[in-house]
Amino acid sequence: MTKKTLSKAYNPEVDFWKLFFAAVVFLMHTKVFFHSSPILRRGYIAVEFFFIVSGYFLAAKVRSDMRKDLRTPTSEFLRHKLAGLFKIVLCAFLITFAVREFGEFQSAPTTARNFFLGIYEVIFGRAYGLKITKAYNSPVWYISSMLASMTVLYPLAAKYRASFFRVACPVLALFSYGFMLQQTAVLHPDARLKITEHIIGGSLVGGTVRAFAGLCVGMFVNECCVCAKEALAGKRVSNFGKALFFFVQIADIACILLYMQVADGRRWSQAYDYAIIPALALFCFLVFSELTGVKERLQGFNFAPLSKLSLYLYLCQWPGTYILKGRLGEGLTLGKAVLYQLIITAVTMAVCRLMVFILDFFENKLFPKLKSLLFLQAKTENAES
C-alpha cells in the first residue's frame, strides 16, 4: 500500500496503539519470573483495548454493508476473520509446543499424545472449555473468545443495526461486566459460582464473557463516533479544540498506565479494574472520532505493518517465557529478563513469519498445481460444442 493508495478512512493512529498495547501485554507477562517488582502487573487490562477495537470494526463492517445495501453472511464474516489469523496461530503454536515439549525432555509417545490433545488451541477451542491437557500458547484465549462472541454478536448487529449499537450494546456490556464483577472472589469469597477471579478471566468461560462485553463496548463507541460526526457536520474542530482533545487523550492513557503500575503495590482490589473500562472506552472514542487531529497529521503514512507486528508480538512471546523460567530461575534480574525475553520473542516472531511465508507459498503456488493434477476440470458447454 503506497502513500497514494491509502484510503481516506484509514487511521494510522489505530495501528500505532495496537502495537503499543501489545507491548504492554508483553511487559506484563514478565511477572512470571518474579514475586515482586513486576512491570505493569495489571497490564492484562490492555487486552480490553483489542476487544473494543474489534467491536468498533465489527460495527463499521455492518455500517459499510448498510450503505451498500448488502448483508454479509455470518459465515463469510468469520471466514474473513479467520483467513488473517489461522496460519499465524498455527505457526505460533507449533513453535511454542516444540519449545515447551523438548525443553521438558518428553518422550516421543508423550509428545505425540500432547500434540494430539493440544491441537484444540489451533481450532480456537479454548473459548468452549476444551482444555484437555497443558495450555501451550496461552494468549490464544483472546482470539478464541473474540471469535466465539462475534459468532453471536455479528448476526444480531447485522439484523438490528443502529438500534442494536445504540441500546442493546451498552446494556449487554453493563450486564456482562456486572456479572463478572459479582463473581469476583474479592467481593464474594464464598460464592460457589465463580467464572472468574478478576477481569483477566480466571476461567475459559470468564474470558468469553469478557470478550462479549468488550465487543459491545466497541460497537457502542462506533455509535458514539457516528453521532459525533453527525453533530459536527459542516463544522471543523479548531486548533484549540484539537489540542484540548489531544491533551485529554494523553491524560487518559497516562492514568490507565499509572493504574496498571501502582494498583498491585497499593493492594487495590481487582474489582477496581472495572472502573478502567470507561477510561479505555473514552480513549478509543478519541482515537476513532478524529477530534484530536492526529489522523490529519499522520495522513499518508502507512502504519499497517504495525498492526501485523502487534499480532506476532502477542502470539509469539510465550516461548521466551518457557525458556527463561525453566533455565534461569530466580537469579534473573528484571532488566535482563526483559532483554532476554525481547530477544527470544524477536527470534520467535521471525521464525513464525518465515513459516507463514512458506505456508503462503504452498497455498498460492504448489496447492493449485497439485489440485490440477488430482482433479480434472469440468468441460464447459462452449468447449463441448
pLDDT in tens, 119-146: 878 877 765 555 555 678 888 888 888 9
Lowest-pLDDT range, 7-16, 65-74, 270-279, 319-328?
Answer: 319-328
Quote the pTM value: 0.88
- pLDDT of amino acid 112: 87
Rounded CA-CA distance 160/286 in Å is 26
Residue 83 has pLDDT above 60, yes or no: yes
What is the Cα gyration radius of the chain?
23
Label residue 186 by pLDDT band (50, 70, 90). Answer: very low
All three cell numbers of 334, joined, read 528484571
The answer to whether position 331 is within a domain reads yes
> Is residue 248 domain-resident?
yes
Let me know if residue 272 belongs to a domain.
yes
Domains: count for the chain: 1
Cell numbers for 296: 490529519
Residue-level pLDDT at 25: 92
pLDDT of amino acid 265:
84
**Would residue 362 count as lying in a domain?**
no
**Is residue 270 very low, low, confident or very high in pLDDT (cuts 50, 70, 90)?**
confident
At 322 the pLDDT is: 86
Residue 384 lies in a domain: no
Asked if residue 363 belongs to a domain, the reply is no
pLDDT > 70? residue 14? yes
Residue 17 lies in a domain: yes
In a domain, 385, yes or no: no
pLDDT at position 338 over 90: no
Residue 234's domain spans which residues? 12-357
Alpha helices, DSSP H only, in 316-362?
318-327, 334-361
Does residue 356 register a pLDDT over 50? yes
